[in-house]
Amino acid sequence: MARTARLLAAEDPPPAAAERPRPAAAGSGLRSLSSAASGLWDRLSVLGAGVSKLEKALGDHFPEGERYFGLENFGNTCYCNSVLQALYHCIPFREQLLEYYATFKNTEDPEDNLLTCLADLFAQITLAKKRTGVLAPKRFVQRVRKQNELFRSYMHQDAHEFWNFLVNDIIDILEEDCRTANSTPETTPEEVSNGAVNALANGARERPLVTLVHRTFQGILTNETKCLMCDTITAKDETFFDLSIDVEQNSSLTSCLKSFFSTEILNGEDKFFCDKCSSLQEAHKRMKIKKAPHVLVIHLKRFKYVEQLSRHKKLSYRVVYPLELKLGSMSEDADCEYSLFAVVVHVGSSPNHGHYVSQIKSHGNWLSFDDDTVQISEESTLQTFYGSSREQCSNTDHGYILFYERLGGKS
């Protein structure tokens, strides 16, 4: 999948980090974490006191055991905060990460890496006594900047770039954990990676490691090429964690997906070499989802390089995305259906500067997460992020990354 270009312009200078007050006892809902939480409270950074506006607004409808925390901005880290909120409210991912947290907290001198920092951050939110507040994810941000020079500056960055970096780094960490576990007889790979893997006696694997990232976000695409001379079909599978989709003016997500999966004719200089014909032939090429992921992440390619301008331009095209998405003929499972639960929104008219916020659906309520501010939102508000049917428009808030969870639990 094509990746969005780096965004290079700065916003505001970084704010000073706030002091981190200590919270009180743990909240409910984490049976497996109770033994690992004893030393956590000294590191919690919950700010604010009393009953919040959000708690008052939700009243008796505040979900039992849930926590809604804003994240402090450490100098244009809105790209990070918006993705983290989507991940935290992706319940399958959150639950698996907290299981991992309980495992590594019970080990001696656990290695400090991006995954442990993320797991610790999620545990801070889940175990907080307060139901709302603000956390300062300083340790996680420092780790991101240490590991990837792209995010070391205080420039405006791309949320999709960060998403790709984060999920791939988590996989690398878990694979390394598995290799370490295979060399330690008393520890199984499953205990370390929270992943399904067939371990052999000599430490080899019958199949690639399946991590919490794979279980939640991985799907399989099938590329089919049909020779128009002999009708032979050549198929090749490719895994994905998100789909990067070209956008069109005054369109819908469904129509953009259909264009993405449409049949392409290979002719002229693009002819296909058919092994059966032993020669270049005209062919039809198409993609199809062979295995749909549990959580489907769709990246709308709103930043396009314009040769005449020698730079990237933001496309404010109006693209309507549904609350319920059916894949139909685009998937081998034609009945596959998804429900929207998170939208990462890019605010701004240019790819070189701007801001990111998240719209999250949690327990039937839509909430707006804007760095350290969390507010109730309305389902109808999502329409304001579709884009504009005109080239020039005062509204620069556009849906950028969409998170859909599969209905029915089948994947």
Q: Which of 50-59, 66-75, 201-210 is predicted with the least confidence, judged by mean pLDDT?
A: 201-210
Q: Which two tokens stand for residue 219?
A: 């799907």
Element (H, E) at 122: helix 114-127
What's residue 183's pLDDT? 64
What's residue 182's pLDDT? 72
Would the pLDDT of 72 be above 50? Answer: yes
CA distances from residue 247 to 219, 355, 395 in whole angstroms, order as listed:
21, 20, 18
Best CA proximity match to 297, nearest among 334, 328, 342 = 342
Would the pLDDT of 10 be above 90? Answer: no
How large a percentage of the chain has pLDDT more than 70?
A: 80
State the greatest distance between any 2 C-alpha atoms of the chain, in Å, as a whole number: 75
The per-residue DSSP string of 177-208 comes to HHHHHHT-TTS-HHHHH-SB--B-TTS-BSS-
- What number of CA atoms fall less than 13 Å from residue 371's CA on the CB side? 11
Dist CA 293 CA 347 (whole Å): 28
Place of tokens 């964690």: 241
* Domain 64-176+211-407 = CATH 3.90.70.10: yes
Between 53 and 33, the higher pLDDT residue: 53
pLDDT band for 356, please (50, 70, 90 cuts).
very high
Helix, strand counts (H, E) of the chain: 9, 20
Would the pLDDT of 150 be above 90? Answer: no
Cα 299 to chain centroid distance, Å, stands at 10
| Amino acid at position 374, single letter | V
Q: Which two tokens stand for residue 81?
A: 């905060």
The rounded mean pLDDT for the chain is: 84
Q: Which two tokens stand for residue 294?
A: 């549990």
What's residue 33's pLDDT? 55
The phi and psi torsions of 78 (rounded to 5 degrees) equal -60, -30
Would the pLDDT of 194 be above 70? Answer: no
* pTM higher than 0.85: no
CB neighbour list of residue 401: distance below 8 Å, 6 or more residues apart: 83, 86, 159, 160, 163, 242, 297, 298, 299, 300, 343, 344
What's residue 17's pLDDT? 37
Q: Are 193 and 174 in contact (CB under 8 A)?
A: yes
Q: Which two tokens stand for residue 207?
A: 């199949």
What's residue 140's pLDDT? 96
Dist CA 291 CA 332 (whole Å): 7
Which tens digits make up the pLDDT trace of 214-271?
A: 999 999 999 999 999 999 999 999 999 999 999 999 999 999 999 999 999 999 999 9
Question: What amino acid positions are annotated as catalytic residues?
Answer: 78, 355
The per-residue DSSP string of 215-280 comes to HHH-EEEEEEEEETTT--EEEEEEEES-EEEE--TTEEHHHHHHHHTS-EEE-GGG-EEETTTTEE
pLDDT band for 205, please (50, 70, 90 cuts).
very low
Radius of gyration of the chain measured on its C-alpha atoms: 23
What's residue 41's pLDDT? 40
Could you tell me the residue ranges of all domains in the chain? 64-176+211-407
pLDDT band for 154, please (50, 70, 90 cuts).
confident
Which tens digits make up the pLDDT trace of 267-287?
A: 999 999 999 999 999 999 999
Which tens digits make up the pLDDT trace of 155-182?
A: 889 999 999 999 999 999 999 888 877 7
Q: How does DSSP classify residue 339? A: E
